[in-house]
Amino acid sequence: MINLHLPAKYPSDKTAIAPSILSADLLNLGERIKQAQEAGADWLHIDIMDGHFVPNLSFGPATVKAIDGFTDLAQDVHLMVENPADFIEPFIKAGASSLTLHIESKGNLKKLLEGIKACGLKCGISIKPDTKPEALLPFADLIDLILVMSVYPGFGGQKFLPSSPAQIAAVRDIITKTGRPIWLEVDGGINAETAPKAVKAGADALVAGNAVFGQSDIKKALSDIRAAADVKI
Ligand code: DX5
Ligand code: ZN
């Protein structure tokens, strides 16, 4: 099991990029992951959808297990599920590096986050575009990562919502006030044009599905986003 290596303090020297396999050619998944790793991807983002929390289905623990046996890239697992309690143990056993739960999902999230941490994984909370950032406050002393959705979750290839920079900046303020090394990851519609907007607003990790795995030349796609993301803040 590989842990995400979180920086001791913000700012880190580079923006982490996490390609999402949701947009990958599944018949060539291993080859495409290898290309992303060689191109310098920092983490792999794995979107888990249950058909209830979002109107779509995607992957399960078997996918994470197969990837864990194939690459040493960290698996940043994003649980878009109604009842995360049902899935935490299977994903930990499968080899997830971090587990991010939605604040809008059901259950005792604090207890679930503590359980994830106790197993040695990083834990995160994600918020949908309409969720107020203040809702994160009760979890701030516990989490390693906040995942700000810059689209309504459920599908890849959507457009970065114009309201996202304000949401990201508000989350960055909350993180700064905690004084804790919490990653701020942004997910949805990230490409070379929107990456600088997210970074300027305070992101230090970016998920990119369509803009990386949806492109034939992964090396070029990743380096375009990297160049655009490494703006001075
Ligand atoms: C959306 C997922 C995203 C998705 C991003 O519900 O959480 O991680 O893969 O895809 P793009 O980058 O294509 O918007
Ligand atoms: Zn995601």
pTM of the model: 0.96
**Ligand 2 (ion): which residues have CB within 5 A?**
47, 78, 187
Give the pLDDT score at 37.
97
* Conformation bin of residue 40: beta by default, left when phi > 0, alpha when psi is -120 to 50: left
pLDDT tens string 118-165:
999 999 999 999 999 999 999 999 999 999 999 999 999 999 999 999
Q: What pLDDT, on a 0 to 100 scale, did the predictor assign at position 212? A: 98
The tens digit of pLDDT for each residue in 212-232 reads 999 999 999 999 999 999 875
For the Cβ of 215 lying below 6 angstroms from any atom of ligand 1, the answer is no
Whether residue 103 contacts residue 90, with contact meaning beta carbons closer than 8 Å, is answered with no
* CB contact set of 7 (below 8 Å; sequence gap of 6+): 181
Whether residue 144 lies in the annotated active site: no
